[in-house]
Amino acid sequence: MWPSKVGRGVFFRGATESNFSRGPFVAVILSMRRVVGTANKYDVRTWQRLEAMVPQGSDRNFRFCLAVRHGGDPSASTCPLPPLMKWLPVVQQSPWPQWDRSQAPYSFRPEDEDAILQAISYHREDIDLEVLSFPPGTHDQVTISLSSTFRLPPDPRDDNPALVPSSFRQSTSSPGDIDLLPVELIHDICLRLDMESLWHLRQTSSRTRQIIHCMHEYKTIVKHALSPLCALFRTMSASSVSLEAFFRLLCTQNCAVCGDGYGNLVFLPTWIRCCSWCLENYALQISTTPLTVAREEFKLSEASLMKLPTFTALPRDYDKRRDPRYRETVVPTELVFSAYREENDKADPTWEMMLEVAGESTDHEMCYCAMPSYNLNHKQIQNGLCCKGCQIAVRDGIVPIDPTDPNSNADRIVYERNQILRHFVHCRQAQILWSKATRAHDDVLVSMG
């Protein structure tokens, strides 16, 4: 099925539904009234979602065609193409800007790393606010409760579990038979408990409250990852994540989807770390489908639906068009596709099903939360850094504004410390910022001398 342009349209020879999902070119027929809403507007974000959901068996190195029409038979031989449409390449580049690179790597002294980071990097809070986030002060009372042990004054021996039992047995209430176990074994049990069960166990007595508070994993999470912790409870997902899994994810930093970028976000339904790049490009591994769509459009059996992990998204605060009490239940799209293939002899979902999934939900970003990374060796926390040089390049038009060009979002790429230093070696605009900072520092020294 090789397409050839005919006037303002695209003609497909032998176009059938199987060709749409299996051919070297994938034509996705959209209904303007259902997805875009107007006949003369092209929805780039909908295209990105559809492109990300192309069956994995297809050859993704080819280009895909998006043919938009006002409805009709998808197997029709002629698919009119609006003038504003064009052939779009699949975005497969690694999320590292390739524009305006210096010809030779920039060299710097290791002792200048901190000064370079201060001059060329910053944390973009607006990216954190685009996903599930909470206003400052929302969880102040929760923080007090999570960090309180009902024991004054604090005992420095709490950091050493071997010294805890003798100081607790005489001064606090007993949780029962579990108190007969060694503290190390109790800690091992607590690590395997999900966060909801751990919370309930913590409420049973002052003794269990103090034992849990002594755990390094628990204290680190409460201190550095309070927002993801509260997001789990407020979305009723705390029963699916153990304390060990939470702390393990906190100690990682790479995106689990692309493997290259810094995972500044956590995908709450499956509890994996991902990056803003994969979120904005609607990677299949971190996309969601409404539970009603999985039931009604994919026709999944109740047995299959019961196996899927469900997630209840919080509504956006600024969405005034909906009842604030309404909370949409979604399931991971990748698992929906897998369940569909199991029930249909490994057949891929049809284009109609993909269309239903691609219709963007207003709660899509509410399935993610900002997630810092904790360096276990250096006991340091990182929240991700963006490049000021890339921000200047996008602001000043050095990078062309093109929704289909990965480099147009270079200012939104989030790095960890070592990554942004490697990026600085080739980023011309960041090097200019560093040169200005060093000259300003030298001028100050001269004036003081």
pLDDT tens series, the chain, 449 aa: 323 332 222 323 333 333 333 333 333 333 332 333 333 333 555 555 555 655 544 433 333 334 433 333 334 333 333 332 232 333 333 444 555 666 677 888 888 999 999 999 999 999 999 899 988 878 777 777 787 765 544 445 455 544 444 444 444 566 677 778 888 999 999 999 999 999 999 888 888 888 899 899 999 999 999 999 999 999 999 999 999 999 999 999 999 998 888 999 999 999 999 998 888 887 888 989 888 888 988 999 999 999 999 998 887 665 555 565 677 889 999 999 999 999 998 888 887 777 777 654 557 788 999 999 999 988 899 999 999 999 998 888 887 666 556 667 788 899 999 999 999 998 989 999 999 988 876 666 556 65
Distance set, CA 26 to CA 90, 240, 252, 391 (Å): 11, 37, 36, 35
217 touches 243 (CB < 8 A): yes
Q: Provide the pLDDT for residue 233.
A: 92
Contact between 119 and 433 (Cβ < 8 Å): yes
| Residues in Cβ contact with 83 at an 8 Å cutoff, skipping those fewer than 6 apart | 8
Tell me which long-range contacts 292-299 makes (C-beta under 8 A, separation of at least 24): 293/356, 293/357, 294/331, 294/336, 294/339, 297/352, 297/353, 297/356, 298/336, 298/339, 298/340, 298/349, 298/353
Report how far apart the first and last C-alpha atoms of the chain are (Å, whole number): 75
Of the CA atoms within 13 Å of residue 264, those in its CB half-sphere come to 28
Residue count (the chain): 449
DSSP 347: P
Q: What angle do CA 326, 332, 334 make, to 5 degrees?
A: 150
Sign of the Cα torsion 135, 141, 146, 152 reads positive
- Least Cα distance to 253 among 133, 381, 128, 95 occurs for 381
CA quadruple 228, 230, 231, 237: dihedral sign: positive
Residues with Cβ within 8 Å of 111's Cβ and at least 6 positions away in sequence, in order, are: none
Distance CA 216, CA 214 (A): 6
Rounded CA separation 276/227 (Å): 17
Q: Residue 317 has what pLDDT? A: 63
